[in-house]
Amino acid sequence: MTIDQTQNEIIEEFEGLTDWMDRYAYIIELGNALPEFPDELKTPENLIEGCQSRVWIAADRRESGEIHFRADSDALIVKGIVALLLRVLSDRTPDEILGADLYFIDRIGLHDHLSPTRSNGLVSMAKQIHDYARAYKMLDESKSN
């Protein structure tokens, strides 16, 4: 499934939830479904700057070239938001991640229903994922030279 197909799937899921209390409950469910995040990955290097709550994102490179992300947060809604980002961007190549237009965030109304600090945190999480993708792409380019 492509990034856009995944985003469209998320948009469809949220269209079925007309009330924002239901949407928040669904976001929390998504966060609770994230795989366990090992304590040894809760390091300052994996901690996202710019988030009001504590959010950790770790990246591993698959042999096939895709980047696999793992994440956790100490805030339920934020954990769900990072779960949405991972659903769209995890297990993708650096070029796919860097070329992605994350339109689902606006289409499901997330930006309009987040506090300014959570909205800044969302931007910080997306930036960190892009930074990982840029770093892996630069590593690939240095190996081919």
Q: Give Cα 132 distance to the centre of its chain.
A: 12
Residue in 10, 30, 51, 75 annotated catalytic: 51
> What is the C-alpha to C-alpha distance for residues 45 and 56, in angstroms, rounded to an integer?
9
Beta bridge partners of 56: 47, 72
The DSSP result for 24-84, as a single string, is HHHHHHHHHTSPP--GGG-STTTBPTT-SS-EEEEEEE-TTS-EEEEEEESSHHHHHHHHH
51 is catalytic: yes
> What is the C-alpha to C-alpha distance for residues 72 and 85, in angstroms, rounded to an integer?
12
Which residues are identified as catalytic?
Answer: 51
